[in-house]
Structure 1
């Protein structure tokens, strides 16, 4: 017999208490290895893959894609030791002992044995219980490691993603169709009796909560379905097939009004329908604020509430900086990015004005000057704006900064940034010029004290050496926390940055 173990959403660290299911990487019936990723979740910090510490067969999944689960909520149940029987029928017992020993005890994302992922394959439900449907007896005792939930009330089935009754069983609850569901309609996958629907005894061959929910929403009686899965198991495709048949059969009946329906009632019904549609149009589409987008919204709102910010800006002639970069890249070796040069200028400026590399401790009513510069930079991804952090940026060369920016940008676009990659910043560099805009007044990345913004570099008329010329001009802006410094300090920082942009040789004094 297979031992059914429950794997719950682990503590993801960084104070995170919940995560949203983005994509399931395994299905019910798949074989998983120790530490194989089984689900991709999005937290308030990043998108991560959650590895399972058990090896065996997935018997149930809890929660659909898009569902938000708290830490500690069940994710999947795994039948440890369930395997296809080998010669002599001893494969299951041998696999049980081996799989039990292969539990990694993994409790945190990113930690485990690093065992290679097993090839996905499906197992017939009979393999889980020695030739019987998996956990066929609704009243059977739950396996070790499984928390038995309350029995569903007669005529009801547990909601999809609910955590009651974690043990996967063949549901014996009766799915009652909706009152207006047509009866006796011959639809694919449905047995349409000539008389009243017969009452079938025994359990309904369905495991997936999604299948039960889909049937309930569309008024499909699961007892009238013939499953196409192993041993008559009802699959999602069976329910969808039946729903299409019901919709096709009910369509002509809904088009023709009933004889007793009056023109007045039809008019009132049409008016109510139009009114409901108009109300829905006015209400608009609702997009939930969760995951990374929700975390950004909360952080920016907190910044606006707590930080009395101010912004100053200046135009600078970046022609010499662009020429210096071309000379660096023409000399051979790794290419140096413009963002890396601006970051190098930032760290030099922060060494002169350390008040801007700080944070405010409200409880102690103190300004905390930070010894290291952990430089955040804004990166646009398909999932929104994220701010990866370059650690110890003040000790890096332009080449090292270029390499680190590229590495973190690639991880951001792949959605593989870890919470550690997104936290701990002390100052942010925001290159909004990539969006084709000249200036901006950004919101400070709480709990930092300042953010430098860089606009696009474009040819503009400029007075150079007493003559009007076309030069490469950029607008720089500094948004700062007015509690940590006054305009003189902020202006001095920004002026130093502009001087380095206009005359890169100024940087030689700090190298």
Structure 2
């Protein structure tokens, strides 16, 4: 007899709590295999394909394309079919959700709860790099049917006590446990609405809202109802409204936080890039992989950060300390159809121009395709912003929080320039450095920018640090 198993939106890691359905990859009635991608979702970090942990026939889908779902919400149901003649029944593979309680953990992930719920997707690794963990004691999935007498039959959020039983309270993900802890909520006071009493994020949010309403009602004095607004009251402005969600919403939140918290300042300088352009042309004429201009600028950045490490830092306001980092993870701004993203080149200080060129190309293509993983969009320590590709000379960008600085590069164009005492036409670029004034003063920032300009004007200066 077939079992109908429910697959919920898993914990996607990196602090993500919801995702938007972009495209369904299966239809109701389709046969799916274990680990087959079934839906493409967009989070605040990237586009992600979600694989199904069951093998069987899709019986239902929950949510249309464009719908935003919280972690733990149902995605689809799968009928795990009856066995073929002489063969085993199609079902969840051992080590996947449904085959064992909490067996969907990945490296860095956490599993909690029981039954057929996938409750861990990895908190630090991309989905493509996840690994399955074999549980110590497998638990067989329960057949679809009436709920046990001891389990709640529907959403029970009345706040009745679960009792002082021993062991951890089962929750859908570590995010739910953290949410309760941050608001001082005792999870043992809740009855979960998930399978076998599993506590979902919605249960915790409901309890917090109920407590807030009760607190306001206890404090609020009796008041008369407010009069209705006059008929000529100003209406909301008309126009095209675009929700701030997904990647665009995450960028808006991050830029707003940067502007609130970081006292930034900007300095800039014009530089003669003629010799840098000649050096690049000579490299590419010598054969081998072509070297990009962005890679050469990145190499200059890492050399400058080695001389001025104060700018490869971040500020820990809770500890009131400046944290100087010993590695350079270089972010670069990339404009895509879904908005601005900042992919990160790991250990840029240890890469040569060829390696940087290849990594910039790979990440740029992934950004345009929308396939960057959360790990490829986080952890940057310094950002290089080449806004010259938009045909502009200068800018005062907003620092990519929690970094301490960003180098901006304008377009490189022919301009009149005094070269060796005579007026000449040279390839000139405007460089700008926006920095966090808490980590250094103008002398350090000016020294960094001047060194970058010197390397642009005389690439041989880099030989001292190679």
1:8 counterpart residue number: 8
Instruction: Give the C-alpha shift of residue 103 in structure 1.
Output: 6.8
C-alpha distance 74-437 of structure 1, shift in aligned 2 (>3 A): same
- Residue 307 of structure 2 corresponds to residue 352 of structure 1: yes
Equivalent position of 1:99 in the other structure = 91
**Aligned-pair distance for 1:2?**
1.2
1:416-495 to 2 correspondence within 5 Å? 416-495=371-450
Cα distance in structure 1, aligned partners of 2:152 and 2:283: 64
- CA–CA separation in structure 2 for the residues paired with 1:435 and 1:38: 38
Deviation for aligned residue 1:461: 0.7
Cα distance in 2 for partners of 1:289, 1:103 equals: 38
- The alignment's TM-score, normalised by the length of structure 2, stands at 0.72
Does the aligned pair in 2 maintain the 1:81–1:100 contact within 8 Å? no
d(CA) in 2 for partners of 1:340, 1:69: 39
Is the Cα–Cα contact under 8 Å of residues 55 and 90 in structure 2 kept in the other structure? no
TM-score (norm: length of structure 1): 0.66
Q: Secondary structure of 1:372's partner?
A: coil
Largest Rg, 1 or 2: 1
1:377 aligned partner: 332
More helix by share: 1
In the alignment, the residues of structure 2 paired with residue 401 and residue 94 of structure 1 have an alpha-carbon distance, to the nearest angstrom, of: 56
* 2:380/2:403 contact within 8 Å kept: yes
Please give the per-residue CA displacement for 1:279-329, whole angstroms capped at 9, x wherever unaligned: 78x411211101100000000000000000000000000000000000000
Distance 1:22 1:443 in 2: 29
SS at match of 1:477: strand
Shift of 1:67: 1.2
Q: Offset at 1:110?
A: 3.1
| Residue segments in structure 2 that go unaligned for 5+ positions in a row | 98-103, 105-119, 122-126, 133-143, 156-192, 196-230
1:326-377 per-residue CA deviation (whole Å, 9 max, x = no partner) reads 0000001111000000000000000000000000000111100000000000
**Are the equivalent residues in 2 in contact too, given 1:81–1:95 (CA < 8 A)?**
no
Q: What's the CA shift for 1:70? A: 1.0
Residue 406 of structure 1 corresponds to 361
Cα distance change of structure 1 residues 95 and 362 upon mapping to structure 2, 3 Å threshold: farther
Deviation at 1:66, TM superposition (A): 1.3
Count of aligned pairs between the two proteins: 354
Match runs of 1:235-384 below 5 Å: 282-384=237-339
Deviations 1:239-272 (A, max 9, x none): xxxxxxxxxxxxxxxxxxxxxxxxxxxxxxxxx9
Q: For the Cα contact (< 8 Å) 2:54–2:93, is it kept in 1?
A: no
Counterpart mapping for 1:13-92 below 5 A: 13-81=13-81, 91=84
> Which residue in 2 is equivalent to 1:260?
none
Q: Which residue of 1 aligns with 2:342?
A: 387
Alignment root-mean-square deviation, CA: 2.5
- How far 1:112 moved relative to its partner? 6.1
Match 1:110 to one of 99, 115, 128: 128
Contact 2:313/2:403 (CA < 8 Å) preserved in 1?
Answer: yes
Q: Distance in 2 between matches of 1:59 and 1:372?
A: 50
